Amino acid sequence: MEDLSKTMQQLMNQRHLNDNYRQLMAKVYDDPTVTAFYQEHRDELAEDVLTRSAAKLYEFVSEREKLAKGGTSFATGYEPQLIVSNHLIDVAYMPTKETQEKQAQQQLRQRVKSIAMPKSIREANLKNFDQDPDRAEALMAALDFVDAYEASPKRRHQALYLAGSFGVGKTYLLAAVANQLAADGFSTTLVHFPSFAVEMKNAIAQNGVAEKLDALKKSPVLMIDDIGADAMSAWVRDDVLGVILEYRMQEELPTFFSSNFSMEQLEKEHLRISTRGDDEPLKAQRLMQRIRFLAREITMIGANRRPQ
């Protein structure tokens, strides 16, 4: 880089710099990244950029060298990069490729909020969902939902009510849909409903009910897992579940369900009877109307896939 060395020479002569500094800076001005950057941005740079940005250029070369030797730069996970700032050269610290990947993974995870769900739901993937004919309808419906929702997330989309016996893969399929939506930039909340109901009861004492309720009411996509697995008190049925579903129906927000019961069984055997033993067919019917509005029933059959 003849130009650069000549300018450098002049600079050094002018400044009567000591040998140490000279050696240090000669290496900097000889650096291929530095010279390429200087050439590429010459038009935007001040004439005396090489003197005025000397410290920054030195910082760039030495920090990069530290990293190459396996050391850490002063900001872990970031690497130095030259940028033009105000006609001078500056150093910006950009996330390394690994850091970027880690950040993307974290963002993805944050898009799936889970309440009392097993950690293993992270691994669920639509691509790994087996092509078992017994479960094909559920898989197709799930894929259709993802396509339709992603094409127009603001419209109303009826979600799924997955009914089927223990271990057939209902939770897995819900989680796989949530993970797919996350990968494409959409947020979902997955909640194990029986555990959530207990949490809500405990939240009464701490005045936390409204906040917990709000998170579920307003989640862009909500998945209520295992509804009907535990007996519900009238309060949970009407003031928790009822309130969440009413809001989501009004706002047309997609809401999935999974249950060991069919819709009919859920209404007749579960929602009608409160834990106190009262039979309340009208309340059960109203709730069921909301569930039917939000989701369509799909029965999953097959063997129990849980490790025995």
Half-sphere exposure of 128 (CA within 13 A, CB side): 12
Q: Which of 169, 228, 242, 254 binds ligand ADP (CB under 6 A)?
A: 169
- Structural tokens at position 105: 């993974």
Q: Cβ atoms within 10 A of the Cβ of 192, count? A: 23
Contact between 261 and ligand ADP per CB under 6 A: no
CA angle 156, 159, 164 (to 5 degrees): 165
Q: Is the Cα torsion angle 259, 260, 262, 268 positive or negative in sign?
A: negative
Q: Measure Cα distances from 92 to 19, 29, 63, 82, 117 in Å.
A: 29, 18, 11, 6, 41
Select from ligand ADP, Mg ion, none the partner in contact with residue 166, using the beta carbon and a kind-dependent cut-off of 5 to 8 Å: ligand ADP
Distance CA 204, CA 190 (A): 22
Find the part of the chain contacting ligand ADP (CB under 6 A) among 80-88, 161-169, 206-214, 273-281: 161-169
Contact between 21 and ligand ADP per CB under 6 A: no
* Nearest distance, CB of residue 308 and ligand ADP, angstroms: 11
Contact between 48 and ligand ADP per CB under 6 A: no
Contact between 308 and ligand ADP per CB under 6 A: no
> Which CB, 82 or 197, lies closer to ligand ADP?
197
Q: Which of 114, 171, 188, 255 binds ligand ADP (CB under 6 A)?
A: 171
Select from ligand ADP, Mg ion, none the partner in contact with residue 77, using the beta carbon and a kind-dependent cut-off of 5 to 8 Å: none
Distance CA 191, CA 198 (A): 12
The alpha carbons of the chain give a radius of gyration, in whole angstroms, of 30
Contact between 259 and ligand ADP per CB under 6 A: no
Q: Which of 128, 131, 206, 207 binds ligand ADP (CB under 6 A)?
A: 128
> Which CB, 49 or 112, lies closer to ligand ADP?
112
Contact between 172 and ligand ADP per CB under 6 A: yes
CA trace torsion 193, 194, 195, 197 (10° rounding): 80
DSSP helix/strand/coil, 271: helix
Contact between 167 and ligand ADP per CB under 6 A: yes
> Which CB, 56 or 192, lies closer to Mg ion?
192
> Which CB, 53 or 171, lies closer to Mg ion?
171
Contact between 166 and ligand ADP per CB under 6 A: yes
Distance CA 35, CA 5 (A): 10
* Nearest distance, CB of residue 306 and Mg ion, angstroms: 9
> Which CB, 58 or 193, lies closer to ligand ADP?
193
Q: Which of 40, 44, 101, 130 binds ligand ADP (CB under 6 A)?
A: 130
Find the part of the chain contacting ligand ADP (CB under 6 A) among 53-61, 85-93, 109-117, 127-135: 127-135
Contact between 119 and ligand ADP per CB under 6 A: no
Q: How many Å is the maximal CA-CA distance in the chain?
A: 97
Mention every residue, 6+ apart, whose C-beta is less than 8 A from residue 30. Answer: 1, 5
CA trace torsion 264, 137, 154, 179 (10° rounding): 110
Q: Measure Cα distances from 139 to 176, 182, 196, 299 in Å.
A: 10, 18, 27, 11
Contact between 129 and ligand ADP per CB under 6 A: yes
* Nearest distance, CB of residue 128 and ligand ADP, angstroms: 5
- Contact residues toward ligand ADP (CB under 6 A) are 120, 128-130, 164, 166-172, 258, 305-306
